[in-house]
Structure 1
């Protein structure tokens, strides 16, 4: 092959490569570890890109923070002694030319100084990479009770009133619509989320903007004073990287946060002068103080405001401020962790409870449970202070747990109905019952709803009345499933009504319970642990 033809071939290949890969050699945020970091921010000026528009930019915020030695004012301006978290502006609308002028000018300046820098004017593809920036693995940080206490107890954080004993006013405030100023009212502190939503609404900033403005600016002020300890993070990964979140100090012994809340409260849909209150359920005795210890934040229940639930959710619904959700619906909605039933249902997923509750049908409600909460009849509320009535009902509830005498619990149950390849199973019945009871007794909620140990029997002996002498499993689960042949060999081989055979019932109940309760001593594949093999 001649030199001319070789050169033509090489030149042709280079043209093809340039067409297919126009930005070879340029730095991209895609296809790198950087695209998974919390500091990746998508910069896109238009909602929809036209065919002639360049792709969105994946901006590595933490990388630029490091390049500027943590000085936010390199890219962000200050207004009223606070940093404005918009790029090089204080409210003006950004444009393509604006970003190009500011970013490229900075990169060009650093390049002239022989410093490591980003792309310049002739490297469009280094920032505008084809394909959507995938977004970062930015974790939401939970400002829970522990983190709140760290801030509340800090002597470095000062409130608006320097003479006050606490520093609540450093963060909590209200807004005066007329004067356009913030002010503080003691005893009316609420979650930032109540006013600052996920998106900006009217003139109220989003929670993201408000939090970064307040939190990062505060942390920066400590850093400016060379206060290394307690300064708080100023980079994206400091708050939004999962591994760094795990390293945040956790305080376990947290004093109760007082905000004029009651210890006990009677929750009801009817009012004192309501003539039809006899048609409502009995009032609920609610242990507010106990639930404070169980929740990580007031917002877990009070999702829109710290007002009483029935201020927004009426007895019969129909109010716009409550989303047309009645009080009964708000308290009993099963798929919401903000409701009582939903939260309790979520609690039953824990290892101590899941052994029984995971096998129960979702729609299976126990009328006895209603009485556990609805325990204050109208006549009691009319005769005494509601809070006192609630306290009395709660005291009675916690003292009514009945223990079954040990000699009433069979020590060993021999299961031999299916003994064939294996010997009969000697089930340590009393040991298992007492182990379950021990788990229940350490939970205040479980104690309240399981009023006596006899009720625990229904976890295994389901669909039968509560009794210390329940029917045998074979009473409902047959060795041979009707119409299915020998269905007892299948774990969940149902009969005509979907009921498993006897072997399926035993294995489904026992193995599932062991797995859900995280019992390591008996694994599902260890058959001889429960029944020895015949020799």
Structure 2
């Protein structure tokens, strides 16, 4: 091989036992026997420059190399070029260039050269020159699986915000500027601007654009580099503390054996490593569910402020600026309790899914390119979207078993529910909305108006007193092979009321004491549910063709469908759907 491969001879990677994909030493490490790995990297830089390849892209197991480097006291700089803001993601270079042969030589000299150096020192190593298929292999005994890291999680984000190890040179009291930045066109550099912090994905996309790196490159460069620096700084601090403590300790006349000295040194090193508080630097440390389950959880998370109001007023369409001939909008404004919603979600990106801005920055009444042509009404009300108000509410109630039992039968946006949010706002008149003057109110004025309305909101409606609910209801109109079924009406009603207990959505949208009754008595007016009609009023004993056309099952099917489906959604195991005797006592002839 070329002399360039000998340049890495001084790097003692004594722990490497990797990448013998042709059977050379592939599974020498137990960790390589897993069915899936988060660190499988296919090196395809040459393929992007050269259309036709002689060999498939090489497979690289990143964590195995990282562990080996750490064991030898080395870091990422062995493979990745150091830069002012971290290490480059590419191997021993900043850019790919345009010469595929030059790039091929760089990889072979770097990788195989290192393996050869180790082999000449009688160390266990990876593939050597001529063992091409060991790296260039398409058949792997494991899958590449990476669990996404949710940096937007309030708990994980707060751990970084509150960390004393992350120091912003521009303002030591606020460390947001260590991670968040914007491009200043005048200064021609990245700077931190307080109050403009946003998600990385708001600027960085899937692919690099000019000098702006891709999201993957930006995140890995910034995060891993920072974790490494924090670990190195911490290690140096705790090492100096340990040495100072050792120097001040009284001298002992006891003579230690070489084995005891080695054991003490190992214990001291272990104590130093245990004291270091930093983030992971391996693929598995971030991109596995097992590792993420061990992330420290802060609860409750102190509110993260970015200039957001406690509440604001969402104004309807400005009719004064509607095009001539366009229909006027008639919806009333919405008082949005921002603080309450913050407490109920895990990330700001639940709603602000692209940028932390008002929805109207991207979404317009008629839709445009900036908002991916999603109209404002759909951004707020689309039932299938996790980011819309209605969609989020629907997802919330359908994932909570206490709510799903009823809301599988009652739609989230039931008739009349619009008025729960869209209503008269004290401090803004209909005339102000009609002539457009309401839209001239400042953010501070809207926040003050919203705060006043939130403070004066009526208390949630109390559900109907269980004493007013029949204790049992006997269902016997269809009894034939079984005795009439005795339905524990009050017990079930009390369980539903208890299940919705402190639920904020239930408090806001259950606007009638009889709201809880609407799931079973699903087509009766809510006001009449204190004395609802019998199920047989709508469902006949025999289903007819007309009934089937409007999805109206027979009486027997309606009873079973209502009860069994509710039990299924609420995860009630007993009685089982096939256990007839669990509800009906068999009739003895």
Aligned to 1:161: 170
Tell me how far 1:56 sits from its aligned partner. 2.2
User: Aligned to 2:183, what secondary structure does the other structure show?
Assistant: strand
CA deviations 1:393-416 (Å, max 9, x no partner) are 445555251432334321110011
Q: SS where residue 231 of structure 1 aligns?
A: coil
Deviations 1:495-532, CA, capped at 9 Å, x for gaps:
45443222222222111211211224543343333222
Provide the C-alpha distance between the structure 2 equivalents of 1:334 and 1:286, rounded to a whole number of angstroms.
19
Equivalent positions of 1:220-259 (< 5 A) are: 220-227=228-235, 228=273, 229-259=276-306
Change (3 A) 1:475 1:458: same
Alpha-carbon distance change, 439 to 388 in structure 1, aligned in 2, over 3 angstroms = farther
- In structure 2, which of residues 206, 213, 221 is the aligned counterpart of residue 205 of structure 1? 213
Aligned to 2:254: none
Residue of 356, 377, 382 corresponding to 2:406: 356
CA distance in 2, matches of 1:480, 1:262: 58
Question: What residue in structure 2 maps to residue 101 of structure 1?
Answer: 109
Q: Which residue of 2 aligns with 1:321?
A: 370
Alignment partners' CA distance in 1, 2:522 and 2:52: 63
Q: Specify the alignment match of 2:198 in structure 1.
A: 190
More displaced, 395-404 or 113-122? Answer: 395-404
SS in 1 for 2:168: coil
* 2:47 counterpart SS class: coil
What's the counterpart of residue 430 of structure 1? 490
Paired position in structure 1 for 2:417: 369
After the TM superposition, which of the residue ranges 321-330 and 265-274 deviates more from structure 2?
A: 265-274
What whole-Å deviation, never above 9, does each CA across 1:467-502 have from its counterpart, x for those lacking one?
Answer: 222221222222223379xxxxxxxxx845443222
Indicate which of 114, 122, 128 corresponds to 2:130. Answer: 122
Counterpart for residue 447 of structure 2: 387
Matching residue of 2:347: 297
Contact 1:403 1:453 in 2 (8 A): yes
Task: Note if contact 2:319-2:329 (Cα within 8 Å) is conserved in structure 1.
Answer: no
Residue 11 of structure 1: aligned partner:
none
Q: Is 1:420 aligned to residue 469 of structure 2?
A: no
> Are 2:40 and 1:40 equivalent residues in the alignment?
yes
Cα distance, 1:233 vs. partner?
0.7
CA distance in 2, matches of 1:75, 1:48: 21
Residue 84, structure 1, aligned to residue 92, structure 2: no
SS in 2 for 1:46: helix
Q: Distance in 2 between matches of 1:73 and 1:230?
A: 21
Length, aligned pairs only: 498
* Higher deviation after alignment, 304-313 or 388-397: 388-397
Q: Distance in 2 between matches of 1:499 and 1:443?
A: 32
Conserved in 2, the CA contact under 8 Å of 1:56 and 1:132? no
Contact 1:397–1:448 (8 Å) recurs in 2? no
Q: Secondary structure at the match of 2:147?
A: coil
Per the alignment, residue 18 of structure 1 pairs with: none
Matches of 2:564 and 2:65 in 1, distance apart? Answer: 54
| Residue 342 of structure 1 pairs with residue 351 of structure 2 | no
Match status 1:514 vs 2:539: no
Deviation, structure 1 residue 306: 1.9
Alignment partners' CA distance in 2, 1:181 and 1:27 = 47
TM-score under structure 2 length normalisation? 0.78
Which residue does the alignment assign to 1:20? none
Please state how far the C-alpha of 1:50 moved relative to its aligned partner: 7.1
Separation of aligned partners in 1, 2:380 and 2:222: 34
- State the 1:49 CA deviation: 9.0
Whole-Å separation in 2 of the counterparts to 1:178 and 1:172: 18
* Residues 173 and 189, structure 1, Cα contact 8 Å, conserved in 2: yes
SS of the counterpart of 1:348?
Answer: helix
Is residue 76–residue 83 contact of structure 1 (8 Å, CA) maintained in 2? Answer: yes
- How far the C-alpha of 1:428 sits from its partner, in A, is 1.1
1:264–1:387 Cα contact (<8 Å) kept = yes
- The 3 A distance-change label for structure 1 pair 81 and 311 is closer
Match for residue 555 of structure 2 among 485, 489, 502: 502
Instruction: Single out whichever of 351-360 and 336-345 deviates more from structure 2.
Output: 351-360
Which structure has more relative contact order (CA 8 Å, sep 6+)? It is: 2
Q: Tell me the residue number matched to 1:150.
A: 159
Structure 1 unaligned regions, length at least 5: 1-22, 485-493
Match of 1:266 among 305, 313, 327: 313
Over 3 Å counting, the alpha-carbon distance change for 1:374 and 1:133 in structure 2 is: farther
Deviations 1:2-55 (A, max 9, x none): xxxxxxxxxxxxxxxxxxxxx9644669xx735611111122232599776212
Pair 1:527 & 2:580 matched = yes
Range 78-87 or range 335-344, more displaced: 78-87
CA distance, structure 2, for counterparts of residue 184 and residue 260 of structure 1: 16
SS in 2 for 1:68: helix
RMSD: 2.9
Q: Distance in 1 between matches of 2:357 and 2:191?
A: 20
Cα gap change, 1:182 to 1:110, in 2 (>3 Å): same
**Conserved in 1, the CA contact under 8 Å of 2:22 and 2:134?**
no
Which digits, 9 at most, give the CA deviation of each residue in 1:288-311, with x for residues without a partner?
001111122222211222222222
- The alpha carbon displacement at 1:389 in A equals 3.8
